[in-house]
């Protein structure tokens, strides 16, 4: 495979720019899978730099599931109205709304889970594994807590269209691609017959 074909293939896989793909392929010695990893790491670094920037624009996405029994309202913010109108941004917000409908998270992120809920979960896990040494107990509790977060926090959930990718990783890729900070602000999920 020549360099142009490799760059094209890598661009298709990652949506990264041509020069970034060429550089990653050079760094990886022509190995496309290694180049994907290099680009992902660079994307994470770029996203981390952008995380402190204010995301004051964006949009509210609505999704009504087939049969009109589940509905979702979701607010996703970005830095400019230009990005808010971008097709990739709109596609991700639609997919995130579908994720909320399908996976029914309770919170946006780990940081938004109330401390008392975390302590309650830890207490339950500790009562389930009595009799083990303290250090072993804490490791087991942390593992169970991590699984709990992956069920109840949107950003920690596996993406329904690609379970190998967490929602926060999906957002990191979009931040790297669009060059702006992107934040899931809040969501509300409605289901017919649900009690509040």
The DSSP-derived string for 51-82 is TTS---EEEEEEEE-TTSSEEEEEEEEES-HH
Confidence of residue 43 (pLDDT cuts 50, 70, 90): low
User: In whole angstroms, how large is the CA radius of gyration of the chain?
Assistant: 20
Confidence of residue 128 (pLDDT cuts 50, 70, 90): confident
In the predicted structure, residue 193 carries a pLDDT above the cut 90: no
In the predicted structure, residue 179 carries a pLDDT above the cut 90: no
In the predicted structure, residue 56 carries a pLDDT above the cut 80: no
135/120 Cα distance (integer angstroms): 19
Question: 113 in helix, strand or coil?
Answer: coil
In the predicted structure, residue 109 carries a pLDDT above the cut 70: yes
Confidence of residue 50 (pLDDT cuts 50, 70, 90): low
For domain 114-151, the CATH class is mainly alpha
Confidence of residue 60 (pLDDT cuts 50, 70, 90): very high
Q: Average pLDDT in the 5-22 region?
A: 73
**Range 76-88 burial, b when 16+ CB lie within 10 A, else e:** bbbbeeebbebee
User: What is the pLDDT, as a whole number, of residue 53?
Assistant: 60
28/31 Cα distance (integer angstroms): 5
80/57 Cα distance (integer angstroms): 5
100/63 Cα distance (integer angstroms): 9
Q: Average pLDDT in the 146-158 region?
A: 95
In the predicted structure, residue 98 carries a pLDDT above the cut 70: yes
Q: Which CATH number fits domain 57-109+153-191: 1.10.3720.10, 3.40.50.720, 3.30.479.20, 3.10.310.30?
A: 3.30.479.20
Q: Which fold has domain 3-50?
A: Helicase, Ruva Protein; domain 3 (1.10.8)
Between 127 and 154, the higher pLDDT residue: 154
Q: Residue 6: CA atoms inside 13 Å, Cβ hemisphere, count?
A: 20
For the ranges 49-63, 79-93, 170-184, the lowest mean pLDDT is seen at 49-63
Instruction: Give domain limits for the chain.
Output: 3-50, 57-109+153-191, 114-151
């Amino acid at each position: 495979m020549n360099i142009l074909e490799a760059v094209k293939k890598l661009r298709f896989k990652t949506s990264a720019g041509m020069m970034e793909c060429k550089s990653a392929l050079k760094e990886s010695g022509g190995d496309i899978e290694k180049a994907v990893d290099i680009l992902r790491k660079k994307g994470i670094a770029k996203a981390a730099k952008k995380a402190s920037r204010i995301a004051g624009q964006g949009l509210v996405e609505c999704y009504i599931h087939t049969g009109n029994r589940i509905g979702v309202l979701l607010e996703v913010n970005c830095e400019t109205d230009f990005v808010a109108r971008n097709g990739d941004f709109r596609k991700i917000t639609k997919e995130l709304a579908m994720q909320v409908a399908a996976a029914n998270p309770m919170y946006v992120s780990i940081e938004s889970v109330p401390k008392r809920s975390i302590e309650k979960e830890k207490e339950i896990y500790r009562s389930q594994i009595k009799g083990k040494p303290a250090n072993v107990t804490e490791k087991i509790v942390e593992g169970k807590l991590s699984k709990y977060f992956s069920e109840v926090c949107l950003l920690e959930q596996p993406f329904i269209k690609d379970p190998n990718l967490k929602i926060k990783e999906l957002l990191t890729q979009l931040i790297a691609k669009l060059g702006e900070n992107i934040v899931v602000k809040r969501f509300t999920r409605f289901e017919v017959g649900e009690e509040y």
